[in-house]
């Protein structure tokens, strides 16, 4: 093989991969929001799940994108693991559309298709036409790259060394290993199958040599989901195990079938003169048949993931976020990212709220009876609150810079405000705890009347915080009104208790030093109420923004 052929091969490969990326991006741009909406509304119906997974993958030309999105949705709690199994099965069917498209062989029209696509991008200022142009240009470039690769590899037919290497692919273990490794490197089964078809078009490889490589390619494509699941929750990791299990089981079944039956010859007989179509057909049959075989065993596959990755016994005492997945912004697939980011932020701020409520309660308990152990626990929880606040700031910064739609960015920004208010509530809890420690160290005590008043203020504040513990967006509706009533009560109660304290001070029922501490404690509780109302208002704005996004037509505007 001459140097010019090597250059032509690399150039063709570059065009092919770039064309596939362009086409995928264009399809994602045109259909991404609608596909995300469909996934969010997915039911437990297995046939609907498979259909949705296949449709999304066929439209965006990437099972990796669909799987990464599914991993993200499971991690965010938008989808159950039991639903994810059907989507992944469908994604494996949908990914075969690229091979079938390549098998059509429209190479002669490729330059014209690419020109039309570039013209739509360059001469029209419309997002919709821009998406269509990107799809067309990508398709044309893809076929031009295929033709270049096929022409560059044609001399390999007369190379004894290469023919010897390819003949080894008929060994199941070697073929599967080559297919899995190559696909894992380029992270796209569609692309690796396309390259295999280019080899076949040049006459270098036949179906019996390619069939095991094809099976391996289905395993190798799981690497993208594996990478996407790093740092996620256990259910998200189980989603990746589902994807991997599906393809390994399918490969085992088809290797056995190919060894005991003339499966390759049957597939050749369907399109005797079109080797790329033979490869595309094997790819389609593999995924469709595997899905049909495993469709009745979805629950068993989910149970298998729990056996491979069981629940942890107990929780590690370390600082970590529970719901934020920073890997969300490191992959190339952004369908549904805004919805996932918003859900993760909602869940993480609720986690932060739980810790904050515990600390407010601890601060009052320390006023009643001071204990060093409880004080240390409160300080440790305060460190965790500060840690969560920093993580939420970092996450929202990454999210907003990820070029979300305007509405998504506005909602994400509101969670930043929620986090800041929670952090300030945590600070006021620490202030109260420090005042309790001061009284303990100086052996000073509030009167029973003063302690009763502090108890009332503490109860009012925890009532507000408990109202902020919400399970879903629909519960935001009357939140501000409820919290506002409690917050007004806190303000009035605070004023009355300050008057009561002045009376006690005048009657010499308390010392000046204790009176100052008491007033500061009341102020801390009053500030907690203020921040609670701020959070309620932020949640209400979030609900309105989410409602506005749902009402907006799921289509690209002119």
Q: Look at residue 26 and tell me whether its pLDDT is greater than 80.
A: no
Q: What is the pLDDT of residue 430?
A: 95
Q: CB of 113 within 8 A of CB of 80?
A: no
Report the percentage of the chain scoring pLDDT > 90.
Answer: 27
Q: Tell me which of 99-113, 235-249, 265-279 is least confident.
A: 99-113
Above 50 in pLDDT, residue 75? yes
Q: Which of 259, 289, 308 marks a domain boundary?
A: 308
Q: Which of 66, 70, 73 is nearest to 27 (CA)?
A: 66
- pLDDT band per the 50, 70, 90 thresholds, residue 316: very low
Q: Are residues 432 and 350 in the same domain?
A: yes
Residues 411 and 529 both lie in one domain: yes
- Residues 196, 342, single domain; the answer is no
Would you list the DSSP string of 495-540?
HHHHHHHHHHHHTTSS-HHHHHHHHHHHHHHHHHHHHHHHHHHHHH
For residues 263 and 345, state if they share a domain. Answer: no
Burial of 257-275, coded b for 16+ CB within 10 Å and e otherwise, reads ebeeeebbeebbeebeebb
Over residues 118-133, the pLDDT tens digits come to 888 888 877 778 878 8
* 266 and 352 share one domain: no
Q: Does the pLDDT at position 349 exceed 80?
A: yes
Angstrom CA distances, 535 to 262, 321, 416, 427, stand at: 67, 20, 10, 16
Q: Quick one: residue 557, left, alpha or beta (phi over 0 = left, psi -120 to 50 = alpha)?
A: beta
| Range among 35-44, 307-316, 356-365 rated most confident | 356-365
Asked if pLDDT for residue 553 goes beyond 50, the answer is no
Q: Residue 78 — very low, low, confident or very high, per pLDDT cuts 50/70/90?
A: low
pLDDT at 140: 82
Q: Is the dihedral of CA 241, 245, 247, 251 positive or negative?
A: positive
Task: Express each pLDDT in 416-450 by its tens digit.
Answer: 899 999 999 999 999 999 999 999 999 998 888 99
Residue 422 shares a structural domain with residue 514: yes
Point out the domain boundary residue: 263, 290, 308. Answer: 308
| CA-only gyration radius of the chain, Å | 31
Give the rounded percent of residues in the chain with a pLDDT score beyond 70.
Answer: 80
| Unique residue bearing structure tokens 């929202």 | 396
Which range is least confidently modeled, 97-106, 125-134, 376-385, 522-531?
A: 97-106
Is position 317 within any domain? Answer: no
Which CATH number goes with the domain that contains 541? 1.20.58.220
pLDDT tens string 237-249: 888 888 889 889 9
Query: Distance between the two ends of the chain, CA-based, in angstroms?
Result: 50
Cα–Cα dist 210/216, whole Å: 10
- Rounded mean pLDDT of 262-285? 88
pLDDT per position as a tens digit, 447-506: 889 999 999 999 999 999 998 987 665 566 678 888 999 999 999 999 999 999 899 888
For the chain, the average pLDDT equals 81
Higher model confidence: residue 256 or residue 80? 256
Mean pLDDT of 20-47: 62
CA distance 139 to 132: 11
Query: Cα separations (Å) of 237 from 28, 84, 221, 243, 302?
Result: 24, 12, 16, 10, 12
pLDDT computed for residue 105 by the predictor: 65
Q: Are residues 277 and 341 in the same domain?
A: no
Nearest Cα neighbor of 338 from 397, 407, 389 is 407
User: 157 falls in which pLDDT band (50, 70, 90)?
Assistant: low
Q: How sure is the predictor about 182, in pLDDT bands with cuts at 50, 70 and 90?
A: confident
Is residue 397 domain-resident? yes
Note whether 293 and 350 are same-domain residues: no
pLDDT recorded at residue 552: 43
Residue 355 lies in a domain: yes
343 and 485 fall within a common domain: yes
Q: Which residue has the tokens 């918003």?
A: 342
> 290 with 368, same domain?
no
Determine the structural domain holding residue 55 and report its residue range: 3-308
Question: Mean pLDDT throughout 377-386?
Answer: 93
* Tokens of residue 484, six digits: 């506002």
In-domain check, residue 327:
no
Asked if the structure places residue 406 within a domain, the reply is yes
pLDDT at 558: 29
3-state secondary structure of 212: helix
Are 361 and 272 part of one and the same domain?
A: no
> What's residue 231's pLDDT?
64
pLDDT over threshold 70, residue 332: no
Q: Which pLDDT band, with edges at 50, 70 and 90, does 385 fall under? A: very high
**What number of H helices and E strands is found in the chain?**
22, 0
Q: State the total domains in the chain.
A: 2
Residue 433 lies in a domain: yes
Check whether residue 174 and residue 241 sit in a common domain. Answer: yes
Report if residue 322 sits inside a domain: no
Domain membership of residue 320 (yes or no) is no
């Amino acid at each position: 093989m001459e140097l010019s052929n090597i250059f032509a091969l690399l150039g063709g490969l570059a065009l092919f991969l770039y064309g596939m990326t362009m086409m995928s991006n264009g399809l994602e741009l045109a259909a991404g929001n609608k596909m995300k909406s469909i996934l969010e509304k997915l039911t437990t119906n297995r046939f609907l799940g498979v259909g949705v997974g296949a449709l999304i993958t066929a439209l965006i030309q990437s099972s990796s994108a669909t799987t990464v999105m599914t991993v993200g949705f499971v991690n965010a709690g938008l989808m159950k693991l039991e639903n994810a199994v059907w989507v992944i099965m469908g994604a494996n069917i949908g990914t075969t559309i690229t091979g079938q498209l390549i098998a059509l062989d429209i190479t002669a029209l490729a330059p014209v298709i690419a020109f039309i696509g570039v013209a739509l991008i360059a001469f029209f200022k419309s997002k919709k036409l821009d998406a269509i142009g990107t799809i067309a240009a990508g398709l044309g470039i893809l076929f031009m790259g295929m033709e270049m690769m096929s022409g560059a590899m044609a001399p390999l037919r007369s190379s004894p060394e290469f023919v010897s290497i390819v003949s080894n692919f008929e060994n199941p273990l070697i073929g599967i290993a080559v297919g899995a490794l190559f696909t894992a490197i380029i992270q796209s089964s569609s692309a690796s199958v396309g390259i295999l078809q280019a080899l076949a078009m040049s006459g270098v490889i036949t179906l019996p040599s390619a069939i095991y490589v094809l099976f391996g390619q289905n395993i190798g494509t799981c690497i993208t989901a594996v990478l996407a699941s790093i740092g996620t929750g256990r259910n998200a990791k189980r989603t990746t195990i589902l994807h991997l299990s599906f393809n390994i089981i399918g490969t085992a079944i088809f290797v056995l079938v190919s060894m005991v039956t003339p499966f390759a010859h049957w597939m050749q007989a369907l399109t005797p003169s079109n080797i790329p179509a033979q490869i595309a057909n094997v790819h389609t049959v593999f995924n469709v048949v595997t899905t049909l075989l495993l469709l009745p065993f979805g629950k068993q596959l989910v149970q298998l993931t729990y056996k491979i990755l069981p629940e942890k016994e107990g929780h590690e005492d370390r600082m970590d976020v529970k719901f934020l997945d920073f890997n969300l912004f490191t992959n190339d697939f952004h369908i549904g990212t805004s919805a996932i980011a918003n859900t993760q932020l909602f869940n993480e701020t609720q986690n932060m709220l739980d810790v904050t409520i515990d600390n407010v309660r601890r601060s009052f308990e320390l006023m009643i009876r001071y204990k060093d152990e409880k004080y240390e626990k409160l300080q440790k929880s305060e460190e965790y609150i500060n840690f969560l606040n920093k993580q939420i700031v970092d996450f929202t910064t990454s999210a907003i810079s990820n070029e979300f739609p305007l509405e998504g960015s506005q909602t994400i920004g509101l969670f930043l405000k929620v986090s800041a208010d929670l952090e300030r509530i945590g600070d006021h809890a620490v202030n109260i705890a420090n005042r309790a420690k001061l009284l303990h160290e100086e052996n000073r005590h509030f009167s029973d009347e003063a302690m009763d008043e502090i108890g009332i203020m503490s109860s009012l504040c925890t009532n507000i915080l408990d109202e902020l513990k919400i399970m879903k967006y629909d519960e935001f509706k009357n939140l501000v009104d409820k919290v506002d009533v409690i917050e007004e009560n806190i303000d009035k109660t605070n004023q009355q208790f300050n008057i009561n304290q002045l009376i006690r001070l005048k009657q010499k029922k308390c010392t000046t030093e204790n009176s100052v501490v008491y007033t500061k404690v009341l102020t801390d509780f009053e500030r907690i109420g203020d921040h609670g109302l701020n959070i309620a208002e932020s949640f209400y704005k979030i609900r309105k923004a989410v409602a506005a996004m749902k009402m907006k037509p799921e289509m690209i505007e002119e």
